[in-house]
Structure 1
Amino acid sequence: MRHFETERLILKPASPEDAVFFLQLYNTPKFIQFIGDRNLRTIEDAEQYIRNRFRPQIDRLGFGNYVVVLRENQQKIGAVGIFEREGLDVMDIGFSFLEAYEGKGYGYESAFYLKEIIQRQYGVQRISAITSKDNYPSQKLIEKLGLTFRKFVTLPDETEELRYYESD
């Protein structure tokens, strides 16, 4: 499975070996507040989540969710991905980072690069993004990536109305 590199980062396809990291990331207060509680409580929960939610798309399409790793010290700092998401007709870009690594440009660097790779190498031209109404840092990053707010959406089996963005 291919990984990608930017000047400062490595984007490595998520695998069950990353379960400890995803358990940490997905249980941070900001992740739960802005993205939602994925009910990952054990390493085994995280391994299953990766196997059942991330790997099928990676195996089928060749891309999906990536762990963002600092090149300088191999530290795992976040995740970025482009996903098929139930309730959306357009592939969805998403990202999350440990709080210590927010505001340093890693989100933009990884998401912009992945968006470009997916468009060039896999022919995915339109990209969407969703975010909660009060997640202003994500909204700013989504707009910096070139996506424009289009409407409010509610995903299947969810109650929260989300902001929906799409590339032109």
Structure 2
Amino acid sequence: MGKEFPIIETRRLILREVTAEDANDVFKYLSDKEVVTPMGLAPCQTVEDAQDEIRWYKSIYEDGTGIRWGITLKDSGEVIGSCGFLNMLTKHHRAEVGYELSKDHWGTGIASEALEAVVKYGYQHYQLERIEALIEPTNLPSQKLVEKQGFRREGLLRHYEFTCGKFDDLYMYSIIKADLNIDYIDTK
């Protein structure tokens, strides 16, 4: 994309680019089985595995198929999760949203705050019409999170992904621009 990576600021968070210097923070939560299993990933075994994830974030941004922000607390600057778009299809004004958060911060509203900001950013800056979320049926907290944001469950995609040696069913959730009242969001 060749332009400066956007920063999103919310009440408690700064959403920013994840860099190689953040690898230890990223490793901390991506090595936690409870965090990554619902994402269809095996836990990171080394900091180099976290570096690979950071390189993937950079590659999807550079090729225009996505963007992934590191979720950081304003008071610490530590990366405690990520949220962003993947499988972005500009021709169809559509993208998939993904996110994960360190278990230390589950139940605090941080994921909701980050997701809301990222969804608004997608509508305002990427001219998205539809944002999708694919969620495993057993991942009830994630289902509640997107439902709280106004996403609607459209159906079950049977054996949609092959991850960690097995086929996974995924619920398809979506939100379209008309579902929301988009107002100004502070970006730097």
Give the Cα separation in 2 of the matches to 1:157 and 1:62. Answer: 21
Which residue of structure 2 lines up, in the alignment, with residue 19 of structure 1?
23
Query: What is the RMSD computed on CA atoms of the aligned residues?
Result: 2.0
Give the Cα separation in 2 of the matches to 1:32 and 1:104. Answer: 19
Which residue of structure 1 lines up, in the alignment, with residue 83 of structure 2?
80
Deviation per CA, 1:11-30: give whole Å up to 9, x if none. 01222222222222112121
Which residue of structure 2 lines up, in the alignment, with residue 100 of structure 1?
104
Q: TM-score, normalised by structure 2?
A: 0.79
Which residue of structure 2 lines up, in the alignment, with residue 49 of structure 1?
53
1:67 aligns with 2:70: yes
Question: Highest relative contact order (Cα 8 Å, sep 6+), 1 or 2?
Answer: 2
Give the Cα separation in 2 of the matches to 1:62 and 1:55. Answer: 11
Deviation per CA, 1:49-100: give whole Å up to 9, x if none. 321x211221233951111111022232221111117xxx841111111112
| Corresponding letter in the other structure for 1:101 | H
Q: Greater CA deviation, 140-149 or 39-48?
A: 39-48
1:161 aligns with 2:169: yes
Name the structure with the higher strand share: 2
Give the SS at the match of 1:72.
coil
Structure 2: tracts of 5 or more residues without a match? 177-188
| Corresponding letter in the other structure for 2:135 | T
Residue 126 of structure 1 deviates from its aligned partner by 0.5
Give the SS at the match of 2:22.
helix
State whether residues 16 and 69 of structure 2, in contact with CA within 8 Å, keep that contact through their aligned partners in structure 1.
Answer: yes
Residue 39 of structure 1 deviates from its aligned partner by 5.4
Written as runs of structure 1 = structure 2, the 5 A alignment for 1:100-139 is 100-139=104-143
| Corresponding letter in the other structure for 1:116 | K
Which residue of structure 2 lines up, in the alignment, with residue 35 of structure 1?
39
Give the Cα separation in 1 of the matches to 2:43 and 2:32. Answer: 12
Q: Structure 1 pair 161/39, CA: closer, same or farther in 2 (3 Å)?
A: same
Which of residues 145, 155, 166 is equivalent to 1:151?
A: 155
Structure 1: tracts of 5 or more residues without a match? none
Which residue of structure 1 lines up, in the alignment, with residue 10 of structure 2?
6
State whether residues 37 and 43 of structure 2, in contact with CA within 8 Å, keep that contact through their aligned partners in structure 1.
Answer: no
Give the SS at the match of 1:127.
strand
Aligned residues: 164
Residue 156 of structure 1 deviates from its aligned partner by 4.6
State whether residues 31 and 37 of structure 1, in contact with CA within 8 Å, keep that contact through their aligned partners in structure 2.
Answer: no
